[in-house]
Amino acid sequence: MELTSLLIYIGIFITLFLLAILISDGDLTLMFAERFGKRLSSVKGQVYWIVGASSGIGEYLAYELVANGAKVVLSGRRENELQKVKAQCLIIGKKSGISEADVLLLPVDVAKLELHQQYFDAVLKHFGTLDVLVNNAGRSQRAEWMNIDIRVDKDMFDGNVFGLLNLSRIVMPHFLQKKRGQIAVTSSVCGKVGAPCSASYNATKHALHGYFETLRAELTTQGISVTMLCPGPVFSDLLSACATDTYGQKLGGAMTKKDRRMSTERCARLCAVAMVNHLDEAWISINPVLLSLYASQYAPSLFRSFNGRLGARVAMTLRDSRNDLVNSCKQDSQQVKSD
């Protein structure tokens, strides 16, 4: 009788656990933090440097932060787009007391390592301090593993990994001197599970986890926190600069309103929740991608066996929600299409 009762309780727990995941758009720790954790208003007066703020998650994260009174540094390569984001930040932040001086526009090319100290000096000159560095810069990819030019791999690592890594090392002495600071890194669900037809991109995101989780382990008693953000499919303009298998080539194209993706606003809010609550890692995605992340972590061999049976075409459709854009990835000698 006792064994029967135990099995019933276990069954109930597993059922509730699965239901909770299915109705969520983030991991359960993140969902708990959103409801019961530290409020976003706690960012008021803090300085956030968002690298990759000209569009997508970085842009909407800036809006979320200024709406709650944070000061922001907006960085990216496209100065015209940054100007638009700054103008919107001033409108949104007006109610929370944000002024022109609280939003610094700082054009940055993270691949130019020799300029990183100069960039950071500009932040300190303007605000006198920095509380949070948000490493959000990077580009995606659609390409078949076998066909990728090695120069594409190197180029992706320069922008997606080495630039962010070096900038973080420039900022770290400031955080250590203050004995307080945070580095947030926009990874991806592809940094947890290798999705098909994005080998270089997947590798850069896995590398970010390796680098920054090591940093976290080394600084557990130094007052510095590291938050890895792992979004799934989110509306953005990533296709315009998306890499292929050919060096210097861009995929182009655009997402449509019919795509099954999380809204950029929702993703940015959950990123902000993860940061203010100093979560080590946050999964942010709609289902079935979110459920697949749990499966890959708790039943890795079973998950990969199932995923392998689906094939690259189905796996990419689940990730990207459509397959009408031709890319260079093939499965069973057929061209796989994706956005």
Q: Which residues are catalytic?
A: 201
DSSP strand pairing (132-135 vs 224-231) = unpaired
Residue 306, helix vs strand vs coil:
helix
Q: Degrees (nearest 5) of the Cα angle 211, 216, 218?
A: 95
Residue 3, helix vs strand vs coil:
helix
Place of tokens 């800036």: 62
DSSP β-bridge partners for residue 103: 72
Residue type, 124: L
Nearest to 198 by CA among 164, 233, 258, 245: 245
Phi-psi region of 17 (alpha: psi -120 to 50; beta: other; left: phi over 0): alpha
C-alpha count within 13 angstroms, C-beta hemisphere, residue 249: 12
CB 97 within 8 A of CB 69: yes
Question: Distance between CA 109 and CA 145 in Å, rounded?
Answer: 27
Residues 210-219: contacts with CB within 8 Å, 24+ apart? 211/161, 211/165, 212/168, 212/183, 212/185, 215/168, 215/183, 216/280
Prior bond of 231 cis (ω within 30°): no
Question: Distance between CA 233 and CA 15 in Å, rounded?
Answer: 26
CB 75 within 8 A of CB 51: yes
Question: Distance between CA 63 and CA 93 in Å, rounded?
Answer: 8
